[in-house]
A = this chain, B = another copy of it.
């Protein structure tokens, strides 16, 4: 254990709250990539975790002070709904997420109008509020691990109030290049970079994102921040436990029946602009058009589920995803065969079942901080599944050698990669799957946490 007591802070905490029919507060473990990554390393350690109160049930939980449940000690920061929407929907998800993933349709978006500037003020206030809460509750000489793009401004405000406290910021997203950063107004870009660089150290999943952040700081601030690289790990024990569950066994039987002995391509993703879901289906369409012998022989299992539906862009993207599925299925279906099997239910056990059975796992984001599913797949897969992996994902650094690489905008190239994966001789599949498994389990969530602690401790000394 580290010398300094740890505190974690993130927008979404490791517990989710609900109010039951009797009006009582019910607590359970939350889902989501960050909760899994960070939670896997922290559950049972007694570490204090500060998170935002996202809805009515959370706000009620916040009133009770620290909640102890599922091995976590959680304090929730209460925010009113309008402030939260401005901070979360408009700035974090509607601006910074788009910035770091390069998702903007620049002739149209972003629009920094007076409504946006008002939301930016709310974002700053929420970051200040998190800092104030931490200043209040962090133990003496604590090391505070600030998680992700929602909270870039916490470190400097916290250090000003509590010079004894050390801080680390970790980004689970990519980071914008200096050229892309110019889309932000100067004062916003400056405050964002100064905020992040004002932590003891800034961590990223890939050296590429750390380098981009460093280049931005050099160009805008004229100084290099302290950075480190530490790719997150999948929680192998946790997903193996899910794989052994009855829910997973049932889902697996259902899926096997649907596939009916055909070859199986799988993707598991939130319906997220950066995940490149539409081009994945267009590549499958081109595969069927150009390699007719796969018609009737392959099923594409698309386990993609709605996300961030409070943003119009995500609603539109979901419609496009569903439209392209309909188009591809209308073009190629036969009475015996549906090319794309689409299930929009967010069901982790069903996703794990699909990852077990996949002969090809397609992970083709246009840009991704890491992409944890590319590690989860090989851990549970039982078919020597081939990983078709975008070189624009952070996890490419670790898994690229054992995966088949693809260029996310190249639909023809992706179709060829799918063909190569399906046609791969058994020996090569086995060999690659073994290497993938070894690479995917080479690090644990505790290794990741240890890197953050080491970086924060070194920076504070």
A103-B106, A106-B366, A107-B273 given as contacts; is B409 within 8 A of A183 (CB)?
Answer: yes
> Do B407 and A185 have beta carbons less than 8 Å apart?
yes
A366-B106, A413-B185 given as contacts; is B407 within 8 A of A113 (CB)?
Answer: no
Contact mask for chain A residues 15-44; partner B; CB cutoff 8 A; 1 contact, 0 none: 000000000000000000000000000000
Q: Which of B108, B185, B410 contacts A278 (CB 8 A)?
A: B108
Copies assembled: 2
User: Of residues 261 to 292 in A, which have CB atoms within 8 Å of B's CB atoms?
Assistant: 273-274, 276, 278-279, 282, 286, 289-290
- A82-90, A149-157, A174-182, A444-452 - interface stretch: A174-182
A394 to B114, CA, bound (A): 28
Residue A337 lies at the interface, judged by CB distance under 8 Å to chain B: no
Residue A294 lies at the interface, judged by CB distance under 8 Å to chain B: no
Residue A305 lies at the interface, judged by CB distance under 8 Å to chain B: no
A112-B410, A114-B290, A117-B412 given as contacts; is B182 within 8 A of A107 (CB)?
Answer: no
Residue A212 lies at the interface, judged by CB distance under 8 Å to chain B: yes
User: Which chain B residues border A407 with CB–CB below 8 Å?
Assistant: 112, 185-186
**Most B-side CB within 10 Å, residue of A111, A116, A286:** A111
A103-B106, A179-B177, A179-B212 given as contacts; is B112 within 8 A of A411 (CB)?
Answer: yes
User: Of residues 102 to 156 in A, which have CB atoms within 8 Å of B's CB atoms?
Assistant: 102-108, 110-114, 116-117
Shortest Cβ gap from A184 to chain B (Å): 8
Shortest Cβ gap from A427 to chain B (Å): 28
Residue A332 lies at the interface, judged by CB distance under 8 Å to chain B: no
Contact mask for chain A residues 297-328; partner B; CB cutoff 8 A; 1 contact, 0 none: 00000000000000000000100100000000
User: Which chain B residues border A320 with CB–CB below 8 Å?
Assistant: 108
User: Which chain B residues border A412 with CB–CB below 8 Å?
Assistant: 112-114, 116-117
Shortest Cβ gap from A349 to chain B (Å): 29
User: Which chain B residues border A317 with CB–CB below 8 Å?
Assistant: 107
Residue A392 lies at the interface, judged by CB distance under 8 Å to chain B: yes
Closest B residue, CB atoms, query A180:
B179
**Most B-side CB within 10 Å, residue of A106, A185, A273, A412:** A106
A106-B366, A366-B106 given as contacts; is B179 within 8 A of A111 (CB)?
Answer: no
> Do B112 and A413 have beta carbons less than 8 Å apart?
yes
Q: Which of B111, B179, B282 contacts A282 (CB 8 A)?
A: B111
> Do A185 and B409 have beta carbons less than 8 Å apart?
yes
> Do B286 and A114 have beta carbons less than 8 Å apart?
yes
User: Which chain B residues border A179 with CB–CB below 8 Å?
Assistant: 102, 177, 179-180, 212
> Do A409 and B107 have beta carbons less than 8 Å apart?
no
User: Of residues 187 to 239 in A, which have CB atoms within 8 Å of B's CB atoms?
Assistant: 212
User: Which chain B residues border A106 with CB–CB below 8 Å?
Assistant: 102-104, 366-367, 409
Closest B residue, CB atoms, query A366:
B106
Q: Which of B184, B392, B411 contacts A111 (CB 8 A)?
A: B411
> Do B409 and A278 have beta carbons less than 8 Å apart?
no
Shortest Cβ gap from A155 to chain B (Å): 26
Closest B residue, CB atoms, query A212:
B179
Shortest Cβ gap from A109 to chain B (Å): 9
**Chain A interfacial positions (CB closer than 8 Å to B):** 102-108, 110-114, 116-117, 177-180, 182-186, 212, 273-274, 276, 278-279, 282, 286, 289-290, 317, 320, 366-367, 392, 407, 409-413
Q: Besides A107-B366, A114-B290, 17 other CB < 8 A contacts?
A: A103-B107, A106-B366, A107-B276, A107-B317, A111-B282, A112-B411, A112-B412, A113-B282, A113-B411, A114-B286, A116-B411, A177-B178, A177-B179, A179-B179, A179-B180, A182-B392, A185-B407
30 A–B contact pairs at CB < 8 A? A102-B106, A102-B179, A104-B105, A105-B105, A106-B367, A107-B273, A107-B274, A107-B278, A107-B317, A107-B366, A108-B320, A111-B282, A112-B407, A112-B409, A112-B410, A112-B411, A112-B413, A113-B282, A113-B286, A114-B286, A114-B289, A114-B411, A114-B412, A179-B179, A179-B180, A180-B180, A183-B409, A185-B407, A185-B409, A185-B410
